[in-house]
Structure 1
Amino acid sequence: MTPTDRATVDLVVPVKPLTKAKSRLRGAADGGIGSPRAHARLAMALLRDTIDAVRATTAVRRLLVVSSDPVVAAELGVFGIEVAPDGPVAGLNPAYERGAAVLREQDPATAVGALQADLPALRPAELGEAVAAALALFDAGARRAFVADTEGTGTTFLLAAPGVALDPRFGVGSAREHERSGAHPLAGPWPGLRRDVDTAADLGEAAALGLGEHTSAALTPIPGC
């Protein structure tokens, strides 16, 4: 059995409070009105479709959502999804570090990964292939690997080998920052894994790939609303 065969992969997905998440998408779910309720529903839908894809692949053992939003914790808890609150330091990278620490406390030997929460066109097979590609690099001596977004500037997925710090560097220009920090870029096509959604244009591209059921429903007008 090779190291790749034995590797266990756990993922962290951070989520801002729904009222603050995805601010550039405000109005996308209700024809430009920008209702807080409709916006929160869309933000949750993006998360749910991302989570569904993760849970449908055998490549990931454990998924941990990091969020201090009680609505997120309550809704995901109904489906048995583990949610941990944010730590004392705010921000995306601290949330990833917090989640990685929780996962490594329970299993120091796991390969721990960071996945963005806005991948509504993600397919389980894409994530499985990306994980396999990263593990193959780890067998060859690499310590961290990442998937750049569609534009090639951001990052949607980062994985650290067992015993290696996650060292997330998400933010503007994160693909370059991850590569500078020693993470290896993964070259697979994986359009759904690469298409994160920050703007209405991004959402349109994700729709062309095929949205998950939750995002599709969130974009469907509710009669009487």
Structure 2
Amino acid sequence: MSQPRWAVVVPVKRLGAAKSRLRGALVGVPHEELALALAADTLRAVLACPAVAEALVVTNDARVAAAARALGARVLPDEPDAGLNAAFRHGAAAVPAGWVAGITADLPALRPAELAGALLAAQNGRTGVRRFVPDAPGGGTVLLAAPPGVDLDPRFGVGSAAAHAASGALALTGDWPSLRRDVDTAADLADAAALGLGSRTAALVEVVRPARAAG
């Protein structure tokens, strides 16, 4: 029997406001270019995952929307100033009945096979229960998954892993390092680079490396 395929919601802020703690992480690279690269590499991996039927990008940024459509995603307008959880809810509401997941847009090392493994794990076990994948440090959330008929009910933000657990979601603990490695800081970006970055983020990092070597 074939496995169900997922709709995956990927909210992306306006590039000028996204990933503020990464500002200046790549000297000489405009911040908006780095934020766009992180989102594009995340989305490319999502769309390459065999378990994914559709990706929905929720954004009000025209450059993000254009890149998402070029990759094959569906784009939904974000509600101004509504916040990340509202964007996840908005995307999930646009999905027909079925399996739905929300994923953060800052996973530039994401491997499609690891995402497929996490989504498969979310389908197994107790029925009618949301599942989530904590980030590498353990306090945040990179993936939240809901079965048919169950609201996604996102609780992203500071301490989201504990918030999702308190809401009844169950943590998934598989070995998925590229899925768990979200990028908020320059140190996170270095850790993601050690795992192997997607092409768009890698190209920006390569621009910076020769300059550092020359200096």
TM, length-normalised to structure 2: 0.92
How big is the alpha-carbon RMSD for the aligned residues of Structure 1 and Structure 2? 1.8
> Are 1:145 and 1:183, in contact at CA under 8 Å, matched by a contact in 2?
yes
**Which among 8, 11, 19 is matched to residue 16 of structure 2?**
19
| Aligned position for 1:129 | 117
> Are 1:30 and 1:219, in contact at CA under 8 Å, matched by a contact in 2?
no
Secondary structure of the residue that 2:57 maps to in structure 1?
strand
Secondary structure of the residue that 1:220 maps to in structure 2?
helix
Which 5+ residue runs of structure 2 have no aligned equivalent? none
User: Is 1:70 aligned to residue 62 of structure 2?
Assistant: yes
Secondary structure of the residue that 1:219 maps to in structure 2?
helix
Using the alignment, how far apart are the partners of 1:15 and 1:205 within structure 2?
22
Identity %: 54
**Which among 79, 95, 108 is matched to residue 87 of structure 1?**
79
Alignment of 1:181-200 (within 5 A): 181-200=167-186
CA offset at residue 90 of structure 1? Answer: 1.1
| Aligned position for 1:203 | 189
TM, length-normalised to structure 1: 0.88
User: Is 1:143 aligned to residue 135 of structure 2?
Assistant: no
CA offset at residue 6 of structure 1? Answer: 5.1
User: Is 1:214 aligned to residue 196 of structure 2?
Assistant: no
Alignment of 1:31-180 (within 5 A): 38-87=30-79, 90-103=82-95, 107-108=96-97, 110-137=98-125, 140-180=126-166
CA offset at residue 50 of structure 1? Answer: 0.6
Where does structure 1 differ by over 4 angstroms across 4 or more consecutive aligned residues?
none
Which 5+ residue runs of structure 1 have no aligned equivalent? none
CA offset at residue 79 of structure 1? Answer: 3.0
CA offset at residue 187 of structure 1? Answer: 1.1
Secondary structure of the residue that 2:207 maps to in structure 1?
coil
Equivalent position amino acid for 1:24 in 2: R
Using the alignment, how far apart are the partners of 2:4 and 2:142 within structure 1?
21
